[in-house]
Amino acid sequence: MRQLVDGVDHVFIPMVDAAAAFAALTEQLELPVLWPFTSFGGFASGGVSVGSIKLEIIDSTTEVPFSTAQDPPEIQGVAFRPSTPVDDAYLAEVDARSLRRSAPSGFEVDGELRWTNLYLPDLISDTAGPFVCDYHVPGPRDLVTRRQALEDCGGGRLGVLDASELVIQTRDTEAGSRRWQRLLDPLEPTQLLVWHPTVGPAIRLVEGPGERVDHLQLRVRSRERASRLWQQLADGPLGRLPLQFVD
């Protein structure tokens, strides 16, 4: 069985005042900008590097449930890096695994096709939009550049080293693990329901009252220092972003 995804490429968080939150991440916390806050027509967002993945802050919109901001904010988009281009053979493999999917959706910028999304609506929930993101230009796929950008700024004021774990909450871990295994085959989880893809953070399933992304865990130089600084910003535009820190 061939591998469908290499791992997580980026995650996004819808926010009511996304521009202010993005400014706090880049100006107050000094995380490196991968792209400035920009309108792409159907949505507006800005992205920062947290090592192996991109953290994207997007403007809230009611057009689709997974782009409507929650209170407190949640990670509502999980973008997977496809192991091969999203072509007819790729779609056939997705269908063979009984993964419900959308039709491929292409996004153009200045008349150029930049990426194609393939949504997997059953993987988490209606308000969390997991999808495969197939870039057609090299820049957004460049892991070395995003890692180097974080290293060059010393991980910002939080001292971020990398994104270490994406934690997914589910009411039924047995059913949830079956869904995720269909996507991540032939990768096998540990006994604690943790998958370790080749790209991006580990993916962990935990039991909880909802079907959602619980949080993104960041590995930092000092958890105590990062947590203290994070708490100081809790009343600002970042609010209670679903980030946690480990040494």
Greatest extent of the chain over all pairs of C-alpha atoms, in Å: 50
Which tens digits make up the pLDDT trace of 9-18?
A: 999 999 999 9
Are residues 170 and 214 in contact, defined by beta-carbon separation less than 8 angstroms?
A: no
- CATH code of 113's domain: 3.10.180.10
- Confidence bin at 63 (pLDDT 50/70/90): confident
**pLDDT average, residue stretch 111-133:** 93
- Of residues 228 and 64, more confidence is placed in 228
For residue 7, name the pLDDT band (cuts at 50, 70, 90): very high
Residue-wise pLDDT tens digits, 177-195: 999 999 999 999 999 999 9
Tokens standing for 59?
A: 């403007």
- In this model, does residue 1 exceed pLDDT 80? no
| Structural domain harbouring 101 | 5-246
Three-state SS for the chain is CCCCEEEEEEEEEEECCHHHHHHHHHHHCCCCEEEEEEECCCCEEEEEECCCCEEEEEECCCCCHHHCCCCCCCCCEEEEEECCCCCHHHHHHHHHCCCCCCCCEEEEECCEEEEEEEECCCCCECCEEEEEEEECCCHHHCHHHHHHHHHHCCCCCCCEEEEEEEEEEECCHHHHHHHHHHHHCCCCCCCCCEECCCECCEEEEEECCCCEEEEEEEEECCHHHHHHHHHHCCCCCCCCCCEEEEC
| pTM for this model (two decimals) | 0.95
pLDDT at position 135 is 95
Q: pLDDT value at position 205? A: 98
Count of structural domains within the chain = 1
Give the model's confidence band at 82: pLDDT under 50 very low, under 70 low, under 90 confident, else very high.
Answer: very high
* Average pLDDT estimate for 152-166: 98
Of the candidates 10, 46, 53, 52, the one whose C-alpha atom is nearest the C-alpha of residue 26 is: 46
pLDDT value, residue 110: 83
Mean pLDDT of 152-177: 97
Q: Are 18 and 44 in contact (CB under 8 A)?
A: yes
Q: How far apart are CA 4 and CA 85, in angstroms?
A: 10
